[in-house]
Structure 1
Amino acid sequence: MTDPFAPQKTRAAAWFRQLRDDICAAFEALEDAHTDGPLSDLPAGRFELRETRRGTADGSDAGGGLMSVMRGGRVFEKVGVNVSAVHGALGDRAQRSLTARKEIPGLAEDPRFWASGISLVAHMQNPHAPAVHMNTRMFWTPGAWWFGGGSDLNPCIEYSEDTAAFHAVLKDACDPHDPGFYPRFKEWADDYFYIPHRKRARGVGGIFYDDLCSGDWEADFAFTQSVGRAFLPAFLPLADKRRTQAWTEADKETQLIHRGLYAEYNLVYDRGTKFGLETSHDPDAVLMSLPPFARWV
């Protein structure tokens, strides 16, 4: 049977892969540029690549992706940039997870799904350089399709000028599509990236959106591309500015404790983590976001 949505799936998956390539190249270039300051005597970091597969009980092809992780670099202590395009049938738990937030026509009768996206988390060597998260994705079922994603900044030591600059780039990316997008998606990020059991946000926010389906696939895809393109201009200047700043042991302690908050959020609340594990995707790829070291007090 011909899939009438196949061209859109192909374009979306190719876009996420190209964005991965662009980001990885920019991050490796920043590693090369760090020739002075803390840890500049280390070898420049490089991404290690590994193909991932979505697991199935019968061993059938269910898609997969590419896991790209850099560890122990000059600038990045750990950064992962993963892409995937997976498909199959949703189990009962995953179906309930989706229908709890979105009505999907016919999902119970036809549980097929297709999903593709990019997911990035960067944990920095320098405590003054902010950690960051970004993802964009497209999801399809026979009864619906939608986009989601966003970027958010997670400094352990906040600089108000960095926060303002990050948000300004995201606003500039949103406004040409709809002036209401930035305030709406900023508020969504503030609500979503909140840790209820700690009664605090995990960072200084950004934008977050999900279930974006205006009925115009081209418009929604164009917006998602703008969000992806905005990531490097929003984050890279901050990492570049802070990479040579001197730090103390107390600064590093602050960073490790803040990373504990990040780990708690991703393991307890994050939708992407839950969905990836519920649909049997490679657990190492799903849990790539966890920091290499963290501390709890």
Structure 2
Amino acid sequence: MAPDPFDARKAAASAWFATLRDRIVAAFEALEPEARFAVTPTTRSGPAGEDHGGGRMSVLRGGRVFEKVGVNISTVWGSLAPPAQRAMAARGVPGIEADPRFWASGISLVAHMTNPHTPAVHMNTRMFWTPGAWWFGGGADLNPCIEYPEDTAHFHAALKAACDAHDPGYYARFKAWADEYFFIPHRSRARGVGGIFYDDLNTGDWEADFAFTRAVGEAFLPAFLPVTERRLGTPASARDRDCQLIHRGLYAEYNLVYDRGTKFGLETGHNADAVLMSLPPLAKWP
């Protein structure tokens, strides 16, 4: 059987996500005097127990900076379960109704901070392949419970620079998409102060789309670390902590009810702990 012409591209994407994971984990651990990531292998098995890939779940808890942060990578494959297959068909993925095979690789990060003045953050980038299509997706968004306009401006400026280097129309388009995607309908409010979000990115030029996805990943640390370092020593009151826990409730609601990645991970049988890594360690509802 002739090799899949996409095999080399899949391998390159999977290797990149692992490299980005290592860089982010090292940068986060450099902020922590004692806490370190616990790394757990994850697996995805087929109906008969066959190997369908997996990844690494890396979680740091109880740090001076990070109350809980997870940085996960995975590369999985197999056949889509009927609910996921129907969802892909509804999105117009060519041929997915006749052939449910898929391959997916990516990195997913969520950080819930110790200091209420330091914003929570989310970032992910991924590549998805089916026999009839391929695409990239991802983005990042900032989730403060106490907003500082200069932090929001810095975060967005870093993402805009990454977008502008590839297409001058990307930032406005993907910012608007994030504003729509990270909105909580039942609360009639946004989850945070936005960022960028994109999906189904296939311009026909795989190299260009992969380069843009790498740029989004590379922009994350310059976008987030200065904001984190700026707020580390800000005094926090009991009222600030209460505000933080209530805001985390919004985050949990969104991820459990609306997040596309959460739904896909659970529907395709990936490790549930890895899929639900994004949930905060503590939350509160008024």
Q: Same fold (TM over 0.5)?
A: yes
Paired position in structure 2 for 1:187:
176
- Look up the match of 2:4: 3
SS in 2 for 1:183: helix
The secondary structure found in structure 2 opposite 1:265 is: helix
Corresponding residue SS for 1:27 = helix
Match of 2:31 in 1: 30
SS of residue in 2 equivalent to 1:62? strand
Match of 1:84 in 2: 74
Provide the rounded CA distance (Å) in 2 between the counterparts of 1:116 and 1:135: 11
Question: Structure 1: 5+ residue runs without aligned partners?
Answer: 33-43
State the AA in 2 paired with 1:147. F
> For residue 258 of structure 1, what is the amino acid of its counterpart?
H
Q: Distance in 2 between matches of 1:27 and 1:155?
A: 18
Does the 8 A contact of 1:55 with 1:282 survive in 2? no
Q: 1:281 aligns with which of 261, 264, 270?
A: 270
- Aligned to 2:43, which of 53, 59, 67? 53
Aligned partner of 1:116 in structure 2 is 105
1:37 corresponds to: none
Q: Is the Cα contact below 8 Å between 1:70 and 1:80 reproduced in 2?
A: yes
State the SS of the aligned residue for 1:126: coil
Give the CA RMSD over aligned residues: 0.7
Give the drift of 1:3: 1.3
Residues 192-211 of structure 1 mapped to structure 2, 5 A cutoff: 192-211=181-200
Q: Deviations over 1:48-102 (max 9, x none)?
A: 000001132210000000000000011000000000000001121111111222x
Q: 1:96 aligns with which of 82, 86, 96?
A: 86
Identity score, percent: 71
Contact kept? 2:89, 2:97, Cα under 8 Å:
no
Partner of residue 234 from structure 2, selected from 226, 229, 245: 245
Distance (Å, rounded) in 2 between the aligned partners of 1:162 and 1:109: 47
Is it true that 1:128 corresponds to 2:117 in the alignment? yes
Separation (CA, whole Å) in 1 of partners of 2:25 and 2:15: 15
How many residues were matched structurally? Answer: 285
TM-score between the two structures when normalised by the length of structure 2? 0.99
In structure 2, distance between residues paired with 1:270 and 1:127: 24
- The 2-side partners of 1:128 and 1:55 are apart by 41
Tell me which residue corresponds to 1:14. 15
Residue 94 of structure 2: aligned partner: 105
Query: How many angstroms apart in 1 are the aligned matches of 2:94 and 2:197?
Result: 24
1:63 aligns to 2:53 (yes or no): yes
The CA distance in 2 between the partners of 1:196 and 1:150, in whole Å, is 20
TM-score (norm 1): 0.95
Equivalent in 224, 229, 232 of residue 213 of structure 2? 224
**Unmatched 5+ residue regions in structure 2?**
none
Q: 1:163 aligns with which of 139, 152, 173?
A: 152
Q: How does 1:142-157 map to 2 (within 5 A)?
A: 142-157=131-146
